[in-house]
């Protein structure tokens, strides 16, 4: 009898296992998340297989510059979203934390979420995983293309599901339905229908699906994928690829959009995008491995992906962020940099002789290596995270560098680090005049090599033509410098539009650091260099939407600039993330910590009133600043800073460790940046910060007067937090990890 029972149990277990396999290989709806008044989270099963990835001329007769070479890819089974993630789905997972979206059908839950960067997309996926217990993620680029082609059911069409783009894609040539726009006047709603030139994001599922039943993989909005960008694919056959290993760099967007021509919506079309870029035609869709509790090998889990906090040094003459431990190097391909705590350093280029000797840094962005003979080599660097930086040799091209084990880089373990017999002091290794007080830098310097015209639109211009060089997009960039004004413009060839990224008065420091100051006081900061022949100009950006990204500009006569179009759109100064993320070194002596306990005692969120103890505390801090400023050559004292108000919100006991830091720096525009366990607030007037956990629970509310602050939140439990700042009509939302 017992034997019969055992056989029966075994049979039941086998049936259950077979049932689970059948179920796992079927399309399904995610029932752990209820989407009221909108499409549910439906997932389509994609049977794995081997396919030819990339453009070969058969799938698309007009291959783009970054769509080759065609190569063999093998994928395991997986799931992919039936639709692009919608506004209703976002709200169902994230609560009211919905990004402000551009150019979308009014009052609809089923338009694809857009205007989010790659990190924000992963935050949604992380929150979804916490609700479902599964391991959703973004699709790899290979998974995206295989699904777009129709998987094993593919008919080999140029667009996802059809040879005719109009059957399956919303693109700039589509006939768009009018949109309904409503506004309120004297308490009464007034609505009207209007045609939006160039169209808008449309309801998902409005066009025919492809062979697998997936909608909008051609057109509507472009879609983030997991992969980092590379200009071409590997030539050999690969299995389950996840793209280049470097995480915090430009990413791949796929699928085309309503903003661009149909040719950009083919199944092989691919474009580069800054990882922190947020466009009105850029969203994403979900993916999930067949085993719903795993992710592909070499992929970072969504809940472990966080935008690196803004990094800044300590203002010392040896920036410790550069130091490599034993067995560790900075690598850019086969080029290697080793920086030791004892002052020794070596740069091994891919070709040519090593540069080795003693090292020192100036202003936390210029690295000098001085050989025993006294020869000095300069490198310009931007550190984005503990493991990522952009670096260029003075007069040379920038590159992306990763901190890696030496064993993973060919030849790195055998590099000899010099022994320093008679070490020098760091200040002896830095050229005279190369060190500045970056809290109050001199503004009268101008690198004459940059000036190419006496007035805007005349003489020469500096141009990067992504179309001509196949840099992964359809943008052209132009920098104009006159003796008084600098202007940086990007124009999109496919959309025939352009926008000013930055413009205003400008100055340079040590032929290395460029600052442009807009009319509203907003700062735009770049590191730069110019080649020895004066014809090429490189820069590395501090801007919030492209931290650490770099460009190469060639000098050319303005009459030769291809398809030039004067700016037609508002400058990025109005964009929530358009300003500089540069923070001055934190040990110059002008940064003071405010006692949060005294500041909180009886202050208001608006910062309008403060108790005598609060005012006294801040006045003494101001005095300390004045004292240290005298030594540093900086005078920065403001009555507005003395009236700061910080509210304890709902429970003052939870705020015991808040320590706002006042940075001695004039503020003319608003800004909010993430730091390590902190946020940097630039407030042009009275401002409020609200902090929420991922469930939407209010954790903290703080008020500030005009000023530049660092607000520490390290006392909060480890996790990801949503920080919302507002000042008058200005509002900005960021996420900050607490580690």
450 closest CA partner among 506, 530, 523: 530
Rounded to an integer, the average pLDDT of 512-537 is: 93
Rounded to an integer, the average pLDDT of 341-368 is: 96
Q: What is the pLDDT of residue 633?
A: 25
Angle, in degrees to the nearest 10, between helices 118-132 and 87-94 = 60
Instruction: Give percent of the chain with pLDDT exceeding 90.
Output: 51
40 closest CA partner among 96, 110, 133, 136: 110
How far apart are alpha carbons 249 and 197 in whole angstroms? 33
Specify which residues 726 forms β-bridges with.
688, 731
Q: How many Cα atoms are found within 13 Å in the side-chain-facing hemisphere of 345?
A: 28
Does 605 score more than 80 pLDDT? no
Residue 19: in which H helix or E strand, if any?
helix 2-24
* Cβ pair 356, 346 in contact under 8 A: yes
Could you give the C-alpha distances from 324 to 327, 339, 417, in angstroms and in order? 8, 5, 12
Does 102 score more than 50 pLDDT? no
List alpha helices for 601-671, DSSP H: 612-632, 639-642
Q: What is the pLDDT of residue 652?
A: 26
What is the dihedral angle through the alpha carbons of 191, 194, 199, 202, rounded to the nearest 10 degrees? 40
How far apart are alpha carbons 264 and 163 in whole angstroms? 14
Q: What is the pLDDT of residues 387-420, one digit of tens each?
A: 999 999 999 999 999 999 999 999 999 999 999 9
Report the range of poorest mean pLDDT among 88-102, 115-129, 507-521.
Answer: 88-102
Does 214 score more than 60 pLDDT? yes
How far apart are alpha carbons 124 and 111 in whole angstroms? 16
In three-state secondary structure terms, 503 is strand
How far apart are alpha carbons 704 and 686 in whole angstroms? 6
In three-state secondary structure terms, 584 is coil
Specify which residues 720 forms β-bridges with.
737
For the chain, what percentages of helix, strand and coil (3-state, to nearest 5) are there? 15, 30, 50
Instruction: Give percent of the chain with pLDDT exceeding 70.
Output: 78
In CATH terms, 26-169+202-299 corresponds, of 3.40.50.720, 3.90.1580.10, 3.40.50.1100, 3.40.50.80, to 3.90.1580.10
Report the range of poorest mean pLDDT among 513-522, 526-535, 643-652, 664-673.
Answer: 643-652
Residues sharing a CB contact under 8 Å with residue 135, sequence separation 6 or more, in sequence order: 129, 288, 289, 292, 293, 294, 295, 301
Q: How would residue 632 be classed by pLDDT, with cut points 50, 70 and 90?
A: very low
Specify which residues 192 forms β-bridges with.
181
Report the range of poorest mean pLDDT among 55-64, 274-283, 539-548, 549-558.
Answer: 55-64
- Mean pLDDT of the residues in the chain: 81
Q: How would residue 99 be classed by pLDDT, with cut points 50, 70 and 90?
A: low
Residues sharing a CB contact under 8 Å with residue 440, sequence separation 6 or more, in sequence order: 633, 634, 636, 664, 665
Q: What is the pLDDT of residue 667?
A: 53
Q: What is the pLDDT of residue 152?
A: 97
Q: What is the pLDDT of residues 415-464, one digit of tens each?
A: 999 999 899 999 999 999 999 988 889 999 999 999 999 998 889 999 99
Could you give the C-alpha distances from 129 to 35, 137, 580, in angstroms and in order? 16, 9, 33
Report the range of poorest mean pLDDT among 467-471, 518-522, 536-540.
Answer: 467-471
Q: How would residue 480 be classed by pLDDT, with cut points 50, 70 and 90?
A: very high
Q: Which residues of 112-125 are buried (b: 16+ CB within 10 A; e: fewer)?
A: bbbbbbbbbbbbbb
Residues sharing a CB contact under 8 Å with residue 389, sequence separation 6 or more, in sequence order: 330, 381, 382, 383, 400, 401, 548
Q: What is the pLDDT of residue 186?
A: 65
Q: What is the pLDDT of residue 569?
A: 62
Q: What is the pLDDT of residue 625?
A: 27
In three-state secondary structure terms, 88 is helix
Q: Provide CATH code, domain 460-573.
A: 2.40.128
The CATH architecture of the domain made up of 591-738 is Sandwich (2.60)
Q: How would residue 678 be classed by pLDDT, with cut points 50, 70 and 90?
A: confident
The CATH class that applies to domain 320-429 reads: mainly beta
Q: Do domains 460-573 and 591-738 have the same CATH topology?
A: no
Q: What is the pLDDT of residue 467?
A: 77
**Sheet arrangement for strand 251-254:** 270-273, 251-254, 222-228, 282-283
* β-pair type (671-675, 376-383): unpaired
Does 133 score more than 60 pLDDT? yes
How is residue 384 annotated by DSSP? -
* Cβ pair 279, 499 in contact under 8 A: no
Which sequence spans correspond to the domains of the chain?
Answer: 26-169+202-299, 320-429, 460-573, 591-738
* β-pair type (366-370, 42-46): unpaired
Q: What is the pLDDT of residues 250-266, one digit of tens each?
A: 999 999 999 888 988 99
What are phi and psi for residue 667, nearest 5 degrees? -125, 125
Cα-Cα end-to-end distance for the chain: 58
Ranked by mean pLDDT, which of 34-48, 173-187, 553-567 comes out on top? 34-48
Q: Which residues of 501-524 are buried (b: 16+ CB within 10 A; e: fewer)?
A: bbbbebbbbbbbbbbbbbeebbbb
* Cβ pair 473, 481 in contact under 8 A: no
Is 627 exposed, middle or buried, given 0-12, 13-18 or 19+ CB atoms closer than 10 A? exposed
Q: How would residue 557 be classed by pLDDT, with cut points 50, 70 and 90?
A: very high
Ranked by mean pLDDT, which of 309-313, 594-598, 687-691 comes out on top? 687-691
* Greatest distance between any 2 Cα atoms in the chain: 100
Does 566 score more than 60 pLDDT? yes
Report the range of poorest mean pLDDT among 43-57, 331-345, 667-681.
Answer: 667-681
* β-pair type (222-228, 251-254): antiparallel
Can you give 117-174 as a three-state secondary structure string? CHHHHHHHHHHHHHHHCCCCEECCHHHHHHHHHCHHHCCCCCECCECCHHHHCCCCCC
If one compares 146 and 728, the residue with the highest pLDDT of the two is 146
If one compares 628 and 56, the residue with the highest pLDDT of the two is 56
Does 20 score more than 90 pLDDT? no
Q: What is the pLDDT of residues 231-244, one digit of tens each?
A: 778 778 999 999 99
């Amino acid at each position: 009898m017992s034997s019969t029972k055992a056989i029966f149990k075994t049979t039941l277990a086998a049936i259950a296992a077979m049932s689970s396999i059948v179920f796992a290989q079927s399309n399904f709806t995610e029932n752990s998340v209820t989407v009221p008044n909108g499409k549910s989270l439906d997932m389509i099963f994609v049977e794995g297989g081997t396919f030819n990835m990339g453009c070969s001329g058969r799938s698309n007769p007009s291959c783009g510059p970054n769509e080759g070479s065609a190569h063999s890819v093998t994928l395991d089974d997986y799931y992919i979203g039936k639709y692009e993630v919608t506004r209703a789905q976002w709200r169902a997972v994230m609560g009211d934390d919905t990004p402000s979206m551009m150019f979308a059908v009014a009052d609809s839950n089923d338009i694809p979420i857009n205007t989010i960067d790659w990190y924000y997309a992963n935050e949604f996926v992380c929150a979804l995983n916490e609700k479902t217990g599964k391991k959703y993620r973004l699709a790899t680029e290979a998974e995206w293309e295989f699904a777009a082609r129709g998987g094993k059911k593919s008919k080999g069409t140029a667009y996802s599901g059809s040879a005719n783009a109009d059957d399956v894609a919303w693109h700039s040539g589509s006939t768009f339905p009018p949109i309904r726009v409503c506004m309120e006047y004297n308490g009464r709603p007034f609505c009207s229908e209007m045609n939006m030139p160039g169209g808008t994001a449309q309801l998902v599922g409005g066009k025919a699906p492809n062979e697998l039943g997936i909608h909008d993989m051609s057109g509507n909005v472009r879609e983030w994928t997991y992969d980092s960008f590379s200009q071409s694919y590997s030539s050999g056959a690969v299995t389950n690829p996840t793209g280049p290993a470097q995480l915090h760099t430009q990413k791949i967007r796929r699928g085309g959009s309503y903003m661009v021509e149909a040719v950009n919506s083919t199944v092989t079309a691919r474009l580069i995008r800054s990882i922190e870029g947020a466009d009105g035609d850029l969203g994403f869709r979900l993916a999930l491995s067949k085993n719903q509790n795993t992710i592909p090998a070499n992929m970072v889990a969504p809940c472990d992906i966080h935008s690196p906090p803004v990094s800044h040094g300590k203002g010392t003459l040896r920036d410790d962020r550069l130091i490599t431990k034993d067995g560790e190097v900075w690598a850019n391909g086969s080029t290697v940099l080793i920086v030791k705590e004892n002052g020794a350093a070596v740069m091994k280029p891919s070709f040519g002789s090593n540069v080795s000797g003693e090292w020192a840094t100036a202003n936390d962005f210029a690295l000098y290596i001085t050989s025993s003979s006294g020869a000095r080599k300069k490198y310009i660097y931007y550190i984005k995270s503990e493991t990522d930086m952009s670096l260029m040799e003075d007069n040379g091209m920038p590159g992306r560098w990763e901190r890696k084990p030496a064993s993973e880089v060919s030849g790195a373990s055998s590099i000899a680090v010099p022994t320093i017999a008679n070490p020098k002091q760091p200040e002896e290794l830095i050229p005279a005049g190369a060190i500045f007080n970056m809290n109050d830098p001199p503004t009268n310097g101008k690198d004459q090599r940059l000036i190419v015209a006496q007035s805007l639109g005349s003489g020469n211009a500096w141009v990067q033509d992504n179309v001509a060089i196949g840099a992964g997009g359809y943008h052209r960039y132009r920098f104009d410098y006159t003796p008084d004004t600098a202007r940086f413009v990007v124009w999109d060839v496919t959309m025939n539009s352009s926008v000013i990224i930055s413009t205003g008065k400008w100055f340079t420091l040590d032929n290395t650091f460029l600052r442009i100051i807009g009319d509203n006081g907003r700062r735009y900061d770049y590191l730069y260099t110019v080649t020895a022949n004066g014809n090429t100009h490189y820069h590395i950006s501090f801007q919030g939407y492209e931290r650490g990204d770099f460009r190469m500009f060639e000098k050319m006569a303005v009459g030769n600039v291809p398809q030039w179009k004067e700016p037609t759109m508002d400058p990025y100064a109005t964009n929530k993330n358009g300003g500089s993320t540069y923070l001055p070194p934190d040990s110059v002596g002008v940064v003071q910590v405010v006692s949060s306990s005294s500041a909180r005692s009886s202050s208001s969120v608006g910062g309008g009133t403060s108790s005598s103890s609060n005012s006294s505390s801040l006045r003494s801090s101001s005095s300390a600043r004045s004292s240290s400023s005298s030594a540093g050559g900086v005078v920065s004292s403001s009555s507005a800073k003395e009236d700061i108000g910080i509210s304890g919100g709902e429970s003052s006991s939870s705020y015991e460790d808040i320590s706002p830091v006042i940075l001695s720096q004039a503020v003319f525009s608003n800004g909010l940046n993430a730091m390590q366990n902190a946020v940097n607030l630039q407030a042009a007037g009275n401002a409020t910060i609200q902090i929420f956990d991922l469930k939407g629970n209010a954790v903290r509310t703080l008020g500030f007067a005009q000023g530049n602050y660092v607000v520490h939140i390290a006392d909060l439990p480890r996790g990801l937090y949503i920080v919302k700042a507002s000042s008058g009509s200005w509002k900005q939302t960021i996420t900050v990890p607490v580690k």
